[in-house]
């Protein structure tokens, strides 16, 4: 089984912050699809660009559910994958 990658938010501008994202959020799943890295995240996001998405992030050890049309946030965030 593929292991989850540690995909974290490195930087966040106003649109991303308004969507509820915070620096150091760890991306867990998007629309029920487990996030294994940036490729999985963007493929899932692009599949339904105009629809509100359900994103689960881990923040300070707790899972937080966010609902937003994240595609519209565009370049409002910078992601990094841990090695």
The pLDDT tens digits along the chain (83 residues) read 555 556 666 666 666 777 788 878 888 998 899 988 878 887 887 787 677 788 898 999 999 998 876 655 555 555 555 54
Residues paired with 27 in a beta bridge:
57
* Residue that is written with structure tokens 């540690």 in the block: 6
State residue 41's pLDDT score: 80
pTM of the full predicted structure? 0.73
State residue 83's pLDDT score: 45
Query: Which element (helix H / strand E) includes 43?
Result: helix 38-47
Is residue 70 within 8 Å of 55, Cβ to Cβ? yes
The span from the CA of 39 to the CA of 18, in Å, is 24
State residue 42's pLDDT score: 79
């Amino acid at each position: 089984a593929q292991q989850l990658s540690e995909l974290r938010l490195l930087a966040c501008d106003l649109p991303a912050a308004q969507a509820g994202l915070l620096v150091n959020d760890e991306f867990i799943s998007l629309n029920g699809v487990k996030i294994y890295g940036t490729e999985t995240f963007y493929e899932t996001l692009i599949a339904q660009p105009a629809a509100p998405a359900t994103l689960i992030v881990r923040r300070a050890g707790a899972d937080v559910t966010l609902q937003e049309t994240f595609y519209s946030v565009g370049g409002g965030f910078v992601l990094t994958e841990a090695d």
